[in-house]
Amino acid sequence: MNAVDRAIYTALSGATALTSLLAGGTADPSVFQFLAPEGQDPPYVVYFKQAGTPRHTFRGVAFENQLYTVKAVTVGPSAAAAGTIAQAIDAALVDQALTVSGYTHMYLRRDSDIDYPEIDPGGQRYHHRGALYRVMVDPD
């Protein structure tokens, strides 16, 4: 996990308004990088880096410009719970300062929304709601 990954995890897992909505609660936050463990009960949050484009000057990297997927996954006929968790994700991330080892935080905002259903082979409906978040950090 790189420094920005760790900072995103810390921001999400430390937001009690968010973790209180998840299966693990505040004691064992259900926040996972890439994929939830097999058999994990929803609701939970999954996050991962979607893309990264460093911005350069003639002297090297001016700043890192990264896009992260952060989404709630819930189960059931309604997507309402996923929407509530997505709002809590927003509150935990948008315009919040990240502590990123080796970098100075510059910017963190929602870029675009994520909202789609998924149906497993057994007919169970899962809801994915969240957003793509743009993170900019300046190397120290």
In this prediction, residue 59 carries a pLDDT of 78
- Amino acid symbol at 73: V
Dist CA 89 CA 130 (whole Å): 7
For 113, residues 6+ apart whose C-beta sits below 8 A from its C-beta are 129, 130, 131, 132
Distances (CA, A) of 111 to 93, 94, 131, 132: 12, 10, 7, 5
Give me the pLDDT at residue 126, please.
97
pLDDT of residue 58: 78
What is the spatial distance between Cα 18 and Cα 11, in angstroms, rounded to a whole number?
A: 10
Q: Poorest-confidence range of 49-63, 96-110, 119-133?
A: 49-63
Mean pLDDT of the chain: 94
pTM of the complete model: 0.92
Mean pLDDT of 10-21: 96
Q: Which pLDDT belongs to residue 21?
A: 97
Give the model's pLDDT for residue 56.
Answer: 75
CA distance 100 to 109: 16
The pairing of beta strand 44-52 with beta strand 31-33: parallel
pLDDT (0 to 100) of residue 63: 85
Question: For 3-139, which CATH class?
Answer: alpha beta
Q: Compute the distance between CA of residue 56 and CA of residue 64 in angstroms, rounded to an integer.
A: 9
% the chain with pLDDT above 70: 99
